[in-house]
Amino acid sequence: LRILYLTDEINDPSFTIKAIGHQWYWAYEYTDYGGLIFNSYMLPPLFLEPGDLRLLEVDNRVVLPIEAPVRMMITSQDVLHSWTVPSLGLKTDAIPGRLNQTTFTATRPGVYYGQCSEICGANHSFMPIVLELIPLKIFEMGPVFTL
* pLDDT band with cut points at 50, 70 and 90 for residue 7: low
- As a dihedral over the C-alpha atoms of residue 121, residue 35, residue 89, residue 24, rounded to 10 degrees, the angle is 10
- Sign of the torsion angle spanned by Cα atoms 36, 28, 14, 144: negative
Rg (CA), the chain: 15
pLDDT tens digits along 136-146: 899 888 765 55
- Cβ atoms of 81 and 120 within 8 Å: the answer is yes
Distance (Å, whole) CA 42 – CA 116: 12
Cβ atoms of 24 and 124 within 8 Å: the answer is yes
Q: What is the pLDDT of residue 125?
A: 78
* Per-residue pLDDT tens over the stretch 59-115: 999 999 999 999 999 999 999 999 999 999 999 999 999 999 999 999 999 999 999
Average pLDDT taken over every residue of the chain: 89
Q: What domains can be seen in the chain, in order of their start residue?
A: 2-140 (2.60.40.420)
